[in-house]
Structure 1
Amino acid sequence: MPSTATLDRKTARLRDYLTLARFDHITKHVFIIPGLILAYALREPSLLDAPQRVVIGFVVAIAIASANYVINEWLDREFDAHHPSKHHRKAVSLQLSPALVYVEYLAFAGVGLLLAAWMGGSFFVFSIVFLASGLVYNVQPIRSKDRPFLDVISESVNNPIRLTLGWLMIDPSSMPPVSLLLAYWTGGAFLMGSKRLSEYRDITAAVGLETLTRYRKSFAGYTAESLVVSCLVYAMLSSFFLGVFLIKYRVEYVLAFPFIAGLFGCYLWLSMLPDSIAQRPERMFRSRRLMATLGVTVSVLLVLSFLDLAGLSTLTNRSFTPADMLPGHRK
């Protein structure tokens, strides 16, 4: 028999079901763009059909991400009821038809996979992986989002998937370097770890740890200290893999590294603020400081993508400074 709370909820309308797809999170697909730029800069493929592939590729990414959001919000409705802001979500506050929710999920997934099949090849394979990642993250028996640290690692895998989709839109004949994918993955883990840290600090201070763990089980295995340390580890790993990629594939990118480090620092600083945008990455464009830092970093990377600096090649050669060249050396 339905509970009194269920009976009191209003019946959802069509537009309420569409909000489950979270079209306001479309900004997250910005992580596709570096894949487009790097594939062109490093591979110099023919761009004859690139505009069509890019448009359809973005539609695929949006459709599959929307399918993942639908299943996420539906399966999280009982947990989101304990969150200070997410309890306003339609799946929590309105009475939804399970059948319609699953039809919506299948519709978005179907559109995404049909268009991905038209793109063909590896793009189709990674579109399936993108959809499967949402099931691993949200659905029992795995439901990785309930497991500390694994929740961050499994959620951030969407970053290298998006990068790969962008790369394959421009050059379907090759794959991005593994070092770049690992840098993107661990960089994404840093972003998700910062989000967890911000949530832990804010929600624990407001309503206590017990309520926080009702919202998400993985928080039972976290402390503020472990989250800070994990963010440091993710950032260091991302920097290491990024360094490997920079030296191996385009040494000019080394000059952008200070700006990239500044971007990491800016985001971690934001996550420390009360009610941080780190808790809502789709709103990151509202931070002028972050957008200014990102704009400068992207601009530097764009310039370095097409600027050849022959003198930097010495960084990849083994060399040692003779001791007799140092000041004060006695011959």
Structure 2
Amino acid sequence: MKQTGRLDSQAAVAPRDQPATGKVLTAPAAPAATATLPVVRGERPARRSRWPAPLVLLRPRQWVKNVFVLIVPLAVAPAALLRHLAPALTTAAAFTAASSAVYVFNDWIDRDQDRLHPTKRHRPLASGEVGPLGALALGVGCLATACAAGGLLPKGVQAAVAGYAVLNLAYCLALKRYPLVDVTTVSVGFVLRAVAGCLAVAAPFDPILIMCVYCTCLLMSLGKRRHELATASRPGQAMARRPALTGYSLALLDQLTAVLLAATLISYELFVLFAPYPHAAVLAVVTMPFSVFALCRYTQLVSLHRSGGEPGRDVLTDPQLAVNALLWLACLAVGRLV
């Protein structure tokens, strides 16, 4: 009787279309859109921006990266930069428009995947604030702006801007899926900015400084990959969001970081040591503590404080790095004037 009662109670709660096998059918899983998204450790909660959605889609917070167009000529030939400030600013504007177009197309391609991400789901395309056709029109407009700005610049700068756009579109379509290729592509984009800045103001080309720029940007790109791996709440989560992470591990990234720390420091010291300053050797020694501290502090932020998700923001908002940078620049300025 007890067994019969248990079977009767099962039949009472079973679906009407239950098969004769006696197995209870489970309810279908909830749609992915209503599922609770996992929380990523160390990742700041997303906040809706007060800016218009189309402007957010252009990622104005990332435009600071284009300052490399001005920084490298300033370090090599500040007088040339002042004489040709208009072409330099036009070059920066061209790269800003080209990079914004890349961001739009990247979000357009990844809009379905971004909807499953705890923070990227708030992006204008993923959230539906901007439609796919409107986003494509905005991206094409940015490319047209970059071409118009490039038309006012020397052919070498035009080639650098065009190469940047093509390389990064290839990154959005395929290259970002391959380990090491992804971070190399991002770093080459910064090198193209630096080279274009020198060409725009007719500044001398300094290969050691360009190598320093490349190593620094590669170091930060690897720091971002480490952040994504370290803050994933469960194994495989980070790989699902960024397929290239299958080729990385925390141990590998730490080893690569150590190599790039040394390469960045050596290339910087060589640049200062062989610069055409009256006291270049003294300046190289005096500024060495600042360069070492900056690299060590960045490594500390990435390894211990789970930072590195947005390298530009992390570097600009850290008080210790900010004070170190001010003192560093002051020493460089005094060394140039003495």
TM-score normalised by the shorter chain: which range applies? 0.7 to 0.9
Closer, same or farther in 2 for the Cα pair 1:33/1:294, shift >3 Å?
farther
2:332 corresponds to: 301
1:302–1:80 CA distance, 2 compared to 1 (3 A) = farther
Partner letter of residue 211 of structure 1? Answer: Q
1:88 counterpart (122, 125, 133)? 122
Q: 1:234 aligns with which of 234, 252, 260?
A: 260
Q: CA RMSD in A?
A: 2.5
Corresponding residue for residue 240 of structure 2? 214
Q: Does 2:309 correspond to 1:283?
A: no
Q: What's the offset of the Cα at 1:23?
A: 0.9
**Structure 1 outlier segments of 4+, above 6 Å:** none
Amino acid at match of 2:219: F
Report if the CA contact (8 A) 1:32-1:166 is conserved: yes
Q: Tell me if the contact between 1:35 and 1:166 (Cα under 8 Å) persists in the aligned partners.
A: yes
Residue 89 of structure 2 corresponds to residue 60 of structure 1:
no
- Aligned pair partner of 1:269 in 293, 300, 305: 300
- In structure 1, C-alpha distance between the alignment counterparts of 2:264 and 2:82, rounded to whole Å: 30
What amino acid is aligned across from residue 159 of structure 1 in structure 2?
Answer: F
Aligned AA (1:162):
R
Where in structure 1 are there 5+ consecutive unaligned residues?
7-13, 308-331
Contact 1:164 1:175 in 2 (8 A): no
Selected match of 1:73 from 91, 107, 115: 107
AA matched with 1:98: P
TM-score with structure 1 length normalisation?
Answer: 0.78
Q: Is the 8 A contact 2:58 2:100 kept in 1?
A: yes
Any idea what SS the aligned residue of 1:279 has? coil
Q: Distance in 2 between matches of 1:237 and 1:300?
A: 22
Letter in 1 for 2:151: A
Q: For residue 175 of structure 1, report the CA deviation from its aligned partner.
A: 5.0
Partner of 2:136: 102
Q: In the alignment, what sits opposite 1:168?
A: 199
Give, in whole Å, the separation in 2 of the partners of 1:217 and 1:153. 16
- 3-state SS of the aligned residue for 1:109? helix
TM-superposed CA distance for 1:98, in Å, is: 3.0
Amino acid at match of 1:79: Q
2:210 counterpart residue number: 181
Q: Deviations over 1:221-255 (max 9, x none)?
A: 11111111111122222233334333333434523
Instruction: Give the Cα separation in 1 of the matches to 2:223 and 2:148.
Output: 35
* 1:18 matched residue in structure 2: 55
TM-score (norm 2): 0.76
State how far apart, in whole Å, the 2-side matches of 1:238 and 1:78 are: 38
Corresponding position: 1:154 with 2:185: yes
Helix, strand or coil at the partner of 1:119:
coil
1:109-124 alignment, distance < 5 Å: 109-124=143-158
Q: Sort the Cα spacing of 1:89 and 1:46 in 2 relative to 1 into closer, same or farther, 3 A.
A: closer
Q: Secondary structure at the match of 1:302?
A: helix
Q: CA deviation at 1:84?
A: 3.3
Aligned to 1:118, the other structure's residue is in SS state coil
1:254 aligns with 2:265: no
Structure 1 equivalent of residue 40 of structure 2? none
Tell which deviates more after alignment, 249-258 or 208-217.
249-258
Gapped runs of 5+ residues in structure 2?
Answer: 1-30, 34-50
Q: 1:21: how far off?
A: 0.7
The residue type equivalent to 1:19 in the other structure is V
Residues 1:145 and 1:298: Cα distance change in structure 2 (over 3 Å): farther
Residue identity opposite 2:62 in structure 1: H
The structure carrying a bigger helix percent of its residues is: 1
CA offset at residue 189 of structure 1?
A: 0.4
Which residue of 59, 66, 71 corresponds with 1:34? Answer: 71
SS, match of residue 205 in structure 2 = coil
Residue of structure 2 equivalent to 1:323:
none
Amino acid at match of 2:133: A
Larger-gyration structure (1/2)? 2
Q: Note the alpha carbon deviations across 1:19-72, whole angstroms, 9 max, x for none.
A: 21101222223333321312324xx54844x23223322221211111111112
Displacement of 1:266 after TM fit? 1.1
